[in-house]
């Protein structure tokens, strides 16, 4: 690593977008001595801040292809990253395990077969008579939920993660500019000029576009054949004070019939998320967060919503998510994280580092 440091010391890298992907790239590259600048104009409202932070790595059933490779890599890297990041914030951790449950008999069978096929991945079958199901059956009365436990998957609180990365980046002297990049172009010396909204020009050898949907505004998408569409994700927190309701009796992180549930306290639970192919969140889709079971428990009702929020993600059209591409010398695209951006961040940062090495 020290050898690498010397090699990349004077190379300027500009990262546009400071969501989880931009910050993770900055964090990874900072170990190699690059001269890094991270630019973002409005990170509070990005999709990373809206995320639930669930890590679905080992629980992913399709065990071939790029998506699996990225998940596998990230599942290995996250514990290592957390170890390092805990030096900056001891509160950061991965909460485990993740329970995937369903009342669909066909899916239960498929999940069981899957768990049995991968005995070394810490996947445990939850049979109908398993004691783990007692509190779940109590709270989700009437629904015959079964499934699997993934002991290596779980959740990272995204807000804590983003804050921790900020602390780490600051201590590593990564420059952060609170501004919008409105134009990028290559000058005659083959250096990239980045024009900021306030008129300043930055230059750098390497530009990494981590600005999700807005990356399309800085490049000519037709030249590179890139299409991205917006996908809104809404999530809610419910607050329920009934005496017989105690969310803490439930496993902390569950995926039930495709919806993610996170226990926050005795009275609070987060449920997410929707997939809306639009720029504006629609109230109508919130119903999906309450209508995913055959028998709806009383506490699972829209009237108990105490907080709701959304984020806009970008989904590639005509090719799988995410888009990891070198567009031309010194210009790298790291976008289209329609889902799983939190999970995939370390693996994608690894890819970016390898790609940069090809450019210099
Ligand atoms: C409700 C919800 C729940 C989710 N749950 C999960 C989950 O459980 N697990 C998981 O892994 N993923 C989850 N996701 C997905 C995850 O949030 C995304 O995949 C991830 O946040 C994408 O990160 P990003 O850095 O690419 O984009 P963003 O976080 O959107 O960041 C892009 C940044 O670019 C900046 N920017 C844009 N244009 C410019 C410009 N011209 N100049 C400077 N800056 C610019 C923006 O201000 C923004 O801060 C969820 C998403 C939502 C909405």
Whether 11 lines ligand 1, by a CB cut-off of 6 Å, is no
Confidence of residue 10 (pLDDT cuts 50, 70, 90): confident
Q: What was the pLDDT predicted at 22?
A: 98
In this structure, what token pair is assigned to residue 156?
A: 């990272």
Q: Are residues 260 and 291 in the same domain?
A: yes
We report the CATH number of the domain holding residue 171 as: 3.50.50.60
DSSP-assigned letter for residue 124: E
Task: Measure 296 CA to ligand 1 centroid, in angstroms.
Answer: 32
Q: Are 153 and 167 in contact (CB under 8 A)?
A: no
Could you tell me if 164 and 268 lie in one domain?
A: no
Adjacency order of strands within the sheet including 253-256: 123-126, 146-150, 98-102, 253-256, 259-263, 268-272, 228-239, 305-316
Residue 5 has what pLDDT?
58
Domain that holds residue 74: 2-89+157-227+317-359
pLDDT at 315 over 70: yes
Does 54 contact ligand 1 (Cβ within 6 A)? Answer: yes
Which band of pLDDT confidence, cut at 50, 70 and 90, is reported for residue 2?
Answer: very low
Supply the pLDDT for residue 108: 97
Q: From atom 20 of ligand 1, which residue's Cα is the shortest distance away?
A: 341
Q: How far is the CA of 6 from the centre of ligand 1 (A)?
A: 32
> Closest Cα to atom 44, ligand 1: which residue?
40
Q: Do 189 and 138 lie in a common domain?
A: no
Distance from the CA of 340 to the center of ligand 1, in angstroms?
10
What's the Cα-to-Cα distance from 80 to each of 161, 174, 346, rounded to whole Å?
A: 14, 21, 10
Q: Are residues 324 and 346 in the same domain?
A: yes
Residue nearest to atom 32 of ligand 1 (CA): 211
Query: Can you give the CATH number for the domain in which 103 is found?
Result: 3.30.9.10
Q: What is the pLDDT of residue 239?
A: 97
Give the number of other Cβ atoms within 10 Å of residue 14's Cβ.
24
User: Does residue 159 surpass a pLDDT of 70?
Assistant: yes
Residues 74 and 113 in one domain: no
Whether residues 236 and 133 fall in one domain: yes
Confidence of residue 1 (pLDDT cuts 50, 70, 90): very low
Distance 213 CA to ligand 1 centre (A): 9
């Amino acid at each position: 690593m020290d050898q690498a440091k010397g090699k990349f010391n004077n190379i300027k890298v500009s990262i546009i977008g400071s969501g989880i992907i931009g910050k993770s790239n900055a964090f990874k590259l900072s170990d190699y001595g690059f001269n890094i600048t991270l630019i973002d104009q409005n990170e509070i409202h990005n999709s990373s801040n809206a995320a639930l932070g669930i890590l679905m790595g080992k629980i992913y059933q399709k065990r071939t292809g790029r998506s699996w490779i990225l998940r596998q890599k990230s599942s290995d890297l996250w514990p290592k990253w957390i170890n390092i990041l805990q030096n900056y914030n001891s509160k950061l951790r991965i909460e485990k395990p993740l329970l995937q449950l369903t009342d669909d008999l066909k899916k239960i069978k498929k999940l069981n077969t899957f768990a049995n096929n991968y005995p070394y991945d810490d996947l445990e079958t939850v049979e109908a008579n398993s004691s783990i199901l007692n509190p779940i059956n109590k709270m989700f009365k009437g629904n015959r939920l079964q499934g699997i436990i993934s002991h290596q998957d779980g959740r990272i609180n995204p807000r804590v993660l983003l804050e921790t990365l900020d602390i780490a980046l600051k201590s590593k002297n990564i420059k952060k500019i609170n501004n919008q990049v409105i134009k990028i172009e290559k000058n005659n010396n083959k250096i990239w000029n980045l024009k900021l909204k306030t008129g300043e020009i930055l230059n750098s050898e390497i530009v990494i576009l981590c600005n999700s949907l807005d990356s399309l505004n800085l490049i000519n998408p037709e030249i590179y054949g890139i299409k991205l569409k917006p996908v809104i994700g809404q999530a809610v927190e419910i607050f329920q004070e009934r005496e017989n309701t105690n969310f803490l009796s439930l496993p902390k992180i569950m995926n039930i019939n495709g919806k993610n549930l996170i226990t926050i306290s005795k009275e609070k639970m987060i449920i997410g998320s929707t997939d809306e192919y639009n720029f504006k969140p629609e109230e109508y889709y919130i119903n999906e967060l309450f209508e995913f079971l055959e028998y709806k428990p009383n506490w699972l009702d829209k009237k108990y919503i105490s907080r709701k929020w959304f984020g806009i993600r970008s989904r590639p059209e005509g090719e799988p998510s995410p888009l990891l591409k070198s567009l031309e010398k010194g210009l790298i695209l790291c976008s289209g994280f329609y889902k799983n951006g939190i999970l995939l961040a370390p693996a994608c940062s690894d890819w970016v580092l390898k790609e940069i090495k090809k450019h210099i």
